[in-house]
Structure 1
Amino acid sequence: MRLKVDILRSMKKLLYEVFPTSIKNLLFYIILFLFPYVSIGQGVKVSSYGFNTTDTKPSIYKAIRTNDTIIIDKQHSEWLVSPLTFRGLENKTIIFENDVVLRAKPGAYTSTSDCLMKFVDCKNIAIIGNGALLTMNKEEYIDGEWRMGLSFMGCSNVSLSNLTISSSGGDGIYIDGYKEMLYSENIRIDSIISTNNKRQGISIISAKDVWVKNSVFTKTKGTLPEAGLDIEPDKETDVIINVNFDHCSFTNNNHSGIVLGLDNLTDKSKPVSINFTNCYLSMNHDISNRYPKAEIIVSSNPFNPVKGKVSFNNIIVDGSKWGLIYSRKPSKAYHVSFNNLSARNICQQEDDMSVIYLEVPDYFKSSGPLGGFSFNNTYVKFDTKSSFFTIRGSSMGTLNGVKNIKGHITIENPNLKEFIEYIKYNPNKNVDFEVNYTLKN
């Protein structure tokens, strides 16, 4: 530890000698923030604490608790572990060697909340995968939905890279707050494959400043919702602020690729900000799943929804049995923009499957108007005989209108029945519904 302090002092002295006063303090604090991720020396191999083919949990615990840089090294067999929970860790770098497999010990995860690796109230944690596999035994977990692969609760400054997380009894990755720490913060995820997990590929409950890049969320199946990504706060005080997905794919999940389940946030919550850039979706949702059928689900509280902005930029949807978007979001909720979206070969399942389906927020209480969407440079190709938009009201007349939907859409479909279909709703209630389209046969 003395070595680290000396290095920091030397860096600070150099900065003060070289850089002007206006930026030297900023540069030092950037270095101070990044420094926990820099390993000094070669680190300590976990096997030096013993390798037990029955359960290596004690060795991993001791190595991580007593060292700053820990290497889970390649052995002649897999690392079998009982549930690993770390509380209050700070300034740790965990490195997996190439081809390492960390596997949940069969029969050891008896509690429904047991996770392969759970981090609670931890700071400055870097997990470097080098292509390692972290895997559980999904077929064993008949009950519950909380046996996560990697869980981060009330954590800050976490870096996770180059791992495959598979076969959990819950989510591949779970991000939430913990007690007085209402959210996890500054989470960076890069080059992760989350596959064959039971509940979600990744769930974000409460978080600020999240960057997920170059990652794959696929083949989620086992218990509802079964989405690739589910952003779903539990309570009004949760936050979803500056959450970003860049160059990620969501494919072959048993529910939608992306679910924005923001129903528990209200107009008293902090506004949301979510961005998807250069992402890919394909063949999400299975007919066995009872939730709405679409590649992207957008929802909010029907009466007092949270404000904010969500953007989808340079998105490709290539192949789907179902529609593109399903929503019951009121127009006064957060605004959703689609910029440079291309969807091809969707709505394959049957005729009368709409590309965009908007449904009354509440069938029995006056609600709405629906809306708050913009479409800029959107292209959709499909062949089935259906409408592009469906707007569904209720026989009780509880839909108070459709409002603030704008943009231009290019449609390639020789069998398009009509652009907008209204069901149990009078379109005379529309306000600022200004979507133009170009039809290419």
Structure 2
Amino acid sequence: MGLWAAVLPAYNVLAGEVPERPQWVAEVLEGRRHEARASWWGFDAHDSTAFLQKAINSKVKRLIIDRQPSPWVTRPLTGVSGQEIVFESGVELVALKGSYQAKSDCLLTFNQCERVTVRGEKGDAGELPVIRMEKEDYQSAAYEKSEWRHGLVFLGCREVRVEDLRIERTGGDGVYLGTGPDKIPNRDVVIRGVDFNANHRQGISVISAENLLVERCLLRNTKGTAPQAGVDFEPNDPADVLVNCVVRHCVASGNSGTGYQICSQSLAGRSKPVSIVIEDCVSRGNAQHAVHLVSAPKDPPPGRLQIARFLAEDDAMSGLAVQFNPYDAIRIDLEDVTFRDCAKADSFFAPLYLQGTDLVGRPAGNLHFDRVTVKDEVDRPPFFIRGPKGSRPAEVTRDVTGRILLQRNGRERTLEALDAAERDRVVAPGTPAS
């Protein structure tokens, strides 16, 4: 018997009886109760926004979104500091149809908050509580086009945990990590055990974050508007940061874009060095690349991208695509990585792809292979390096090191990295790589 049934034995969930509890609410507001249930403020099967927002505004330390006969339906909500929001097993928090008309309306936004947790309680079979929006409505002519109708938004927040939820069909990203007006990044953020499914723009967008862990997440079926990635690190200007960001034990699959995207071209040489680790992750069946990094050749940010114990398979484009990253900019290290059957039907890309810069004396590079395996049955070099017409790999790259184990037709051979590259690629370096 659950706590609620023990306290209110006459409470009839199936009949939809959800009595308000003003005495208990008063005790919360007086600081005598530190745990509360959202239904104490009330429940309306058609629109519970007012009840939910009052419950959040109470600033109770633990707010339980308790299971009701039907989903909690809401318009946009705003979170507070110092609160843990717990979704009971079986709970659904869904966006009110016909609402979210403003382009930047999001389901739950935290602006410069601290010590925030949003988590679910798993069911007996491991099923997750659900946060769901109405993506197809927002994509219709009844709505002004937008890519910002996100699920959970954190703007310049600190000490954030998002765990054990399914976030689906948002009009933008499942989770958006942005900045407030003063450009403070999100710090000390953990996103763990979340299933991001069928969102419009991204599973997760990281605009600015320091000390971020994304762990044991599914990043799948993103479809709607570019980039349509599983997770996208995409700062907006040089003041944003991507510092100590770790993606671990995640699977990105079936996305209409890339699995793991790093768009660092809005950073600059004066930005804080990028530090991103992708480890023990899988990319599978995405419509573009498994991992894609784009830099800014004229004034690139410094830093490092580490990819370790990583599997990419059946991605439509490259397993790794790197564009416009000068040899003295972001260092890219691959260790214990396998690319299997990537870019099988793509004549422009190959399992590994490096696009040069058009800067004299500053070729692309800083790419290092350690125990990298390419399984590719297509008769081609496993590594394409694109530069000016007639150029050769050694002429348009610098500091590309290591070996590649090529598996083809049941045979294996080990190649030096540049020996694995196509010898004479005739595409200009400014050609886009999607």
Structure 2 unaligned residues grouped into runs of 5+ = 1-31, 122-127, 140-144, 414-418, 429-434
Give the fraction of aligned pairs with identical amino acids, expressed as a percent: 29
State which of 129, 133, 146 in structure 2 corresponds to 1:132. Answer: 129
Report Cα offsets for 1:310-341 as digits up to 9, x if no partner: 10111112322332111121111110101101
Partner of 2:209: 207
Contact 2:404 2:420 in 1 (8 A): no
Contact 1:271 1:308 in 2 (8 A): yes
Partner of 1:100: 91
For 1:127 and 1:171, locate their aligned partners in 2 and report how far apart those are by CA, in whole Å. Answer: 16
Return the letter of the residue paired with 1:119. Answer: F
State which of 379, 383, 389 in structure 1 corresponds to 2:383. Answer: 389
Partner of 2:101: 110
Contact 1:55 1:81 in 2 (8 A): yes
Partner of 2:12: none
Return the letter of the residue paired with 1:90. Answer: S
The verdict on how the C-alpha distance between 1:425 and 1:135 changes in structure 2, with shifts beyond 3 A counting, is closer
Alignment of 1:399-418 (within 5 A): 401-414=396-409
Contact 2:215 2:249 in 1 (8 A): yes
Report Cα offsets for 1:41-83 as digits up to 9, x if no partner: 7721101101011211111111111122111000000100001
Return the letter of the residue paired with 1:151. Answer: V
The verdict on how the C-alpha distance between 1:353 and 1:274 changes in structure 2, with shifts beyond 3 A counting, is closer
Return the letter of the residue paired with 1:43. Answer: E
Contact 2:342 2:350 in 1 (8 A): no
Contact 1:352 1:386 in 2 (8 A): no
Partner of 2:62: 69
State which of 157, 177, 195 in structure 2 corresponds to 1:155. Answer: 157
The verdict on how the C-alpha distance between 1:150 and 1:425 changes in structure 2, with shifts beyond 3 A counting, is closer
Contact 1:57 1:84 in 2 (8 A): yes
Cα RMSD (Å): 2.3
The verdict on how the C-alpha distance between 1:155 and 1:367 changes in structure 2, with shifts beyond 3 A counting, is farther
For 1:373 and 1:394, locate their aligned partners in 2 and report how far apart those are by CA, in whole Å. Answer: 20
Partner of 2:81: 90
Report Cα offsets for 1:210-231 as digits up to 9, x if no partner: 0111111000000011111110
Contact 2:349 2:384 in 1 (8 A): no
For 1:396 and 1:180, locate their aligned partners in 2 and report how far apart those are by CA, in whole Å. Answer: 48
Tell me, what secondary structure is at the counterpart of 1:59? helix
Higher percent of residues as strand: 1
How much does 1:395 deviate?
4.4
How much does 1:404 deviate?
0.6
State which of 274, 280, 285 in structure 2 corresponds to 1:283. Answer: 285
Tell me, what secondary structure is at the counterpart of 1:52? coil
Tell me, what secondary structure is at the counterpart of 1:374? strand
Contact 1:153 1:175 in 2 (8 A): yes
Structure 1 unaligned residues grouped into runs of 5+ = 1-39, 286-292, 427-441
How much does 1:147 deviate?
0.3
Alignment of 1:287-302 (within 5 A): 293-302=288-297
Partner of 1:435: none
How much does 1:240 deviate?
0.5
Alignment of 1:208-223 (within 5 A): 208-223=210-225
How much does 1:391 deviate?
1.5
1:78 has 2:71 as partner: yes
TM-score, normalised by the number of residues in structure 1:
0.81
Tell me, what secondary structure is at the counterpart of 1:423? coil
For 1:367 and 1:85, locate their aligned partners in 2 and report how far apart those are by CA, in whole Å. Answer: 51
Report Cα offsets for 1:256-291 as digits up to 9, x if no partner: 101110001111101011111110110111xxxxxx
Tell me, what secondary structure is at the counterpart of 2:193? strand
How much does 1:387 deviate?
1.5
The verdict on how the C-alpha distance between 1:330 and 1:61 changes in structure 2, with shifts beyond 3 A counting, is same
How much does 1:385 deviate?
1.6
Return the letter of the residue paired with 1:77. Answer: S
Report Cα offsets for 1:293-317 as digits up to 9, x if no partner: 4221111111111111110111112
Q: How many residues align?
A: 376
Report Cα offsets for 1:14-60 as digits up to 9, x if no partner: xxxxxxxxxxxxxxxxxxxxxxxxxx977211011010112111111
Alignment of 1:15-414 (within 5 A): 43-66=35-58, 67-86=60-79, 89-130=80-121, 131-142=128-139, 143-285=145-287, 293-328=288-323, 329-350=325-346, 353-362=349-358, 366=360, 368-395=362-389, 401-414=396-409
Tell me, what secondary structure is at the counterpart of 1:90? coil
For 2:421 and 2:171, locate their aligned partners in 1 and report how far apart those are by CA, in whole Å. Answer: 41
Report Cα offsets for 1:159-194 as digits up to 9, x if no partner: 110000000010111101212242010001110000
Tell me, what secondary structure is at the counterpart of 2:165? strand
Contact 2:376 2:382 in 1 (8 A): no
How much does 1:353 deviate?
4.2
Contact 1:322 1:347 in 2 (8 A): yes
Tell me, what secondary structure is at the counterpart of 1:294? coil
TM-score, normalised by the number of residues in structure 2:
0.82
For 1:385 and 1:401, locate their aligned partners in 2 and report how far apart those are by CA, in whole Å. Answer: 24
